[in-house]
Amino acid sequence: MNAYVGTPTSRVDGRAKVTGAAKYAGEFAADRLLRGFVVEATIPRGRISRLDTSEALKVKGVVDVLTHAHRPPLADKDDAWKDEVAPEKGSPFRPLYDDRIKFSGQPIALVVAEDWETAKFAASRIRIDYEEEAFATDLESERGKAAKVDQPHKPRGDAVAALARAAVRHEADYVIPSEHHNPMELYATTAVWDGSGRLAIYDKTQGVQNVQKFLCSVFGKKPDDLRVISPYVGGAFGSGLRPQYQVVLATMAALALKRSVRVVLTRRQMYGLGYRPMTIEHVALGASPDGTLDAVTHEAIAVTSCFEDFSRNDTGWGEQLYKSPNSRLSHKLVHLDVATPCDMRAPGAASGVCALECAMDELAVALKLDPIELRLKCYSDRDQSEDLPYTSKQLRQCYARGAEAFGWARRNPAPRSMRDGKELVGWGMATGVWEALQMPVAVRIVLTANGHAEVSCAASDIGTGTYTIVAQVAADALGLPIENISVRLADSTLPQAPVEGGSWMAASSAHAVLGAAEDIRQELARLAKAMPDSPLADLDAAKVTLVDGMIASNDTNGAAVSIADVMHHSKLERIEKEKLNQFAEDKSHARNTHSAVFAEVKVDEQLGVIRVTRVVSAVAAGRILNTKTGRSQIMGGVVWGIGMALHEETLMDHRFGRIMNANIAEYHIPVNADIHDVDVIFVDEPDDRINRLGIKGLGEIGIVGVPAAIANAVYHATGKRIRRFPITLDKLLE
Amino acid sequence: MADLTDQIPERIAISLVVNGVRRTLEVVPWTTLLDALRDRLQLTGTKKGCDHGQCGACTVLVDGRRVNSCLTLAVMKDGAEITTIEGLAKDGTLHPLQQAFVDHDAFQCGYCTPGQICSAAGLLAEGRARDADEIRELMSGNLCRCGAYPNIVAAIEQAMSRS
């Protein structure tokens, strides 16, 4: 039954969020709660030669100052610091571990006081001397030191030779700056002693079980010693996949001082966490005059820290999108004196597809072909990296539906040919692609005789809507109204879930709910058959449905018994089932989501001011569980894409190795006035192979392709090709 | 070395009428209205996103006007009437803006939402916004990183049309 799945159901946590009742990590109260304030390093590389806390300790209300020289014991092996998302290669950062400084903004002390103002004031009284060392933070000046990373992509054919003989070629560097996630909520942890000698750690994270295991390993604790809880997360976008340092500091202080402690980072301090790494994307395309691609080469050169190798798939997406007999891809890293980058919305794809799709637009111009026509000409029905068909791929429909909604047919292809008063008008388009991943997740359902069910799982809801889709799927599977479903998430003691990321949680949690609900249904059917004079006595237990509070036969005879009666007769107050769902391994097909993005920009010819006046995003992502929250996710991705195209850039002063705009006024993100019409179209994409419900996930696909569509529109409006993002007005006026 | 204990100023007693209830508390002069609400009165519905007046998450109504509570010292508002997100619903019925935000899915993570809603309530009281463009402009002091802006505008339009 599908009373809820596929409908625009409002968020089940909506009321809590609009009334202020929803509590986030830094908002949980505790008796005699201490407050911590972090002190950061101001140099990018060297060691601490003196760290004098004596003045800070004299401030009334200060309880202690933790430093590398004054702290509880910490694990001394790299493996103990590797969380489930840590890069394979490297030595994870250890806060307050020793006197080494590895990046500017690194935490070097935690002042703990009776209240926040006192801790903050006392932090200003700490004296630090450094032995500074030579450092490097500039990717472009260090480009020559780039070292190749092993990647799964195998070269096909001879791309270099094919490129050399191609009739039409396009080759360029596209530069994507480092970007910071800047979720609205500040990173925060409240570590609370629960009265029985255990710690309840309220943390801002995308994975409570990841953090729980990490803390146990770092502090040498047993699983029962501490529990990690994160019922609401004020945005994360990848920044909360790995445990962040504030959770280590809060736990450390709680253990050292035997008091509950809260640590909240400042906005500036959040620039010492992970970020989307700056990349130089070198793309070369070779084609015959009719637009048949013959060669694709794509090399990404990315920033990482000096202590961990973080890399993602920037360059492989052309393998999924465009047929080419020759292809060569590579990813290189430059080690700099900066924090380790991390996943940020559509990691790899947001940057790599941006470059690829700008390059495709430039190739279309060189070929004098419509950009959609070029893409259809090169359309690949197979994933060329493994030569596999797709479980489903309705990208052609995305192009068609998106173009129609946008009015693409009315586009004059000549740059600077369209105007609206004093503004130049540009129309551009691009393709988006992401993976449809799915992971093992376990869910517990407790059905009570009053017709309510509690569904619980350790998964997070970072604003993505997990609470709501879990409730929808459970309501349908159990045949109950959604008001009768309560969902508990993000507590490390609940059934197993991975970090919420990669767009895998919708499919993964939904099928886990189905699995547990299936066990409940079978149990109810067994009990119903056993009831005296049961109308379902002869029934095949596999052929019943739970609907409207009844156990009903799937046969046409209409036999049914109420769930309440069955439980009453069986003298059961509750039925509890927990089940781990694992997806069968199937390497016979590629699984991806796709989109076609169309953007209109208006550019003030004199001032260079760019406005994105319209975006149409046509998405093929299997079955959409919730058309309301799903649309919001794509819309949010489009807003991120507008930010990536026009606004976002973490600016480093390379003389000091320090971020210059570590705040949310000078690091520009889109504001309300920047966002105009955003039209989201979900293209029908039935997929009975990928999983039972045909779900693919939506968290990442919304951003992919958007920056390129806007850059291509800016070219169409102005005739200027800006390959260094973000596209700011100074670059247009140069 | 100087004894720094003297550098922490004396606490000052103030009273605030918060969501219709008079509350008295003692604060040091540098305590912001935001920290007073969150840390002292346990009204954590008002959010801290930057502490520098850059994001608007801390927006509350002070004597009916929307202000960034992180840029407002609590001692300056002695005697003022403060409305926070916790004070908008009446007798369990959501304020029209709260209902409109739910209806239009005008949030995802929910962290900027109390500030957006208080700011929108202030905007409606100002009577300055007549259309979507003006709403966008006059709501641009409230950042939403999830990118719910079009839904926020739609929600405010719904509440405007019903008020």
Q: How many domains does chain B have?
A: 2
Answer whether residue A562 shows pLDDT above 60.
Answer: yes
- pLDDT tens-digit map of B8-25: 788 999 999 999 999 999
CATH of residue B58's domain is 3.10.20.30
Domain stops at, among B57, B87, B117:
B87
How much is the pLDDT for B1?
45
Among A60, A115, A639, select the one facing B5 at the smallest CB separation.
A60
Residue after which a domain boundary falls, among B87, B114, B133: B87
Beta carbons of A468 and A508 less than 8 angstroms apart: no
Which of A272 and A537 is assigned the larger pLDDT?
A272
Of A17, A266, A633, which is closest to B110 when you measure between CB atoms? A17
Q: pLDDT grade, residue A587 (50/70/90)? A: very high
Confidence check: pLDDT of A59 > 80: yes
CATH of range A439-581; options 2.40.160.20, 3.40.50.300, 3.30.365.10, 3.90.470.20: 3.30.365.10
Continuous segment of H or E residues that includes residue B155? helix B149-161
Report the chain B residue with the minimal C-alpha distance to residue A629. B105
Residues B31 and B62 reside in one and the same domain: yes
- CA A455 from chain centre, in angstroms, equals 24
Question: How large is the average pLDDT for residues A299-316?
Answer: 97
| Mean pLDDT along residues A481-493 | 98
Q: Where are the alpha helices (DSSP H) in A608-705?
A: 627-646
Question: Do residue A13 and residue B110 have CB atoms under 8 angstroms apart?
Answer: yes
- What is the ipTM for the molecules in this complex? 0.97
Percent of chain A with pLDDT over 70: 100
For residue A192, is pLDDT > 50? yes
Q: What is the pLDDT of residues A422-431, one digit of tens each?
A: 999 999 999 9
| Å between B139 CA and nearest CA of chain A | 6
Based on the domain organization, do B105 and B148 belong to the same domain?
yes
B10 and B67 in a single domain? The answer is: yes
Query: Which of B78, B141, B148 has the alpha carbon at shortest distance from A664?
Result: B141
Spatial distance between the Cα atoms of A398 and A670, rounded to a whole number of angstroms: 26
* pLDDT band at residue B6 using 50, 70 and 90 as cut-offs: low
Query: Is the per-residue pLDDT at A298 higher than 70?
Result: yes
pLDDT band at A538 (very low <50, low <70, confident <90, very high): confident
B110 interaction partners in chain A (CB closer than 8 Å): 13, 16-18, 22, 232, 234, 463
Distance CA B31, CA A39 (A): 20
Q: How far is B51 from chain A (nearest CA, A)?
A: 8
Q: Look at A653 and A531; give whichever has higher pLDDT.
A: A653
Same domain, B74 and B27: yes
What was the pLDDT predicted at A152?
74
Strands A658-659, A677-682: pairing is: unpaired
Quote the CA–CA distance of A315 and A725 in Å, as a whole number. Answer: 18
Q: For residue range A363-387, list pLDDT tens digits in order.
A: 999 999 999 999 999 999 999 999 9
CA-nearest of A640, A684, A612 to A401 is: A684
Q: What is the CA radius of gyration of chain B?
A: 17
To the nearest whole angstrom, how far is the Cα of A286 from the nearest Cα of chain B?
37
Distance CA B64, CA B60 (A): 9
- Taking an 8 Å cut-off on Cβ atoms, the answer to whether B3 and A465 are in contact is no
Query: A23 vs B150: CB contact, 8 Å cut-off?
Result: no
The reply to whether A18-134+184-236+240-270 and A439-581 are identical in fold is no
Q: Note whether B10 and B73 are same-domain residues.
A: yes
% of chain A exceeding 90 in pLDDT: 95
Which token pair is B106? 């005008």
pTM score, two decimals? 0.98
Fold of A279-437+587-733: Aldehyde Oxidoreductase; domain 4 (3.30.365)
Contacts of B45 in chain A (CB under 8 A): 19-21
Residues in chain B, overall count: 163
* Distance (Å) from the alpha carbon of B110 to chain A's nearest alpha carbon: 5
Same structural domain, B36 and B83: yes
Select from B48, B139, B146 the Cβ nearest to the Cβ of A235.
Answer: B146
* Rounded distance between C-alpha atoms, residue A172 and residue A367, angstroms: 16
pLDDT, mean of residues A488-504:
97
Preferred mutation among B10, B146, B151, B157 to probe A, highest tally of A CBs within 10 A: B146
- Range of the structural domain that residue B79 is part of: 4-87
Please report where in the chains the tokens 């780039």 appear, as a residue: A146
Superfamily of A18-134+184-236+240-270 according to CATH: Aldehyde oxidase/xanthine dehydrogenase, a/b hammerhead (3.90.1170.50)
| Residue in chain A nearest B113 by alpha carbon | A18
- The residue count of chain A comes to 734
Pairwise CB contact (< 8 Å): B5 & A464: no
Q: For A637-680, how does the pLDDT look when each residue is reduced to its tens digit (9 = 90+)?
A: 999 999 999 999 999 999 999 999 999 999 999 999 999 999 99
CA angle (B119 as vertex; B115, B120 as ends), nearest 5: 120
Helix-then-strand count for chain A, H and E: 16, 31
Instruction: From A111, A18, A20, select the one nearest B37 (Cα to Cα).
Output: A20
**Could you say which of B87, B116, B142 is where a domain stops?**
B87
- Helix, strand, or coil here: A411? coil
The tokens for A269 are: 């301090």
**A131-157, pLDDT tens digit by residue?**
999 999 999 999 999 999 987 788 999
Look at B109 and A121 and tell me if their CB atoms are within 8 Å. no
Q: Which residues of A are catalytic?
A: 700
Among chain B residues, CA nearest to A639: B147
Out of A117, A629, A669, the one facing B30 most closely (by C-beta) is: A117
Of B50, B85, B108, the CB nearest to A463: B108
Q: Tell me the count of A-B CB pairs closer than 8 A.
A: 195
CATH number at residue B142: 1.10.150.120
**Per residue, what are the HEC states of A495-557?**
CCCCCCCCCCHHHHHHHHHHHHHHHHHHHHHHHHHHCCCCCCCCCCCCCEEEECCEEEECCCC
Same structural domain, B76 and B108: no
> B134 to chain A: which residues are within 8 Å by CB?
none
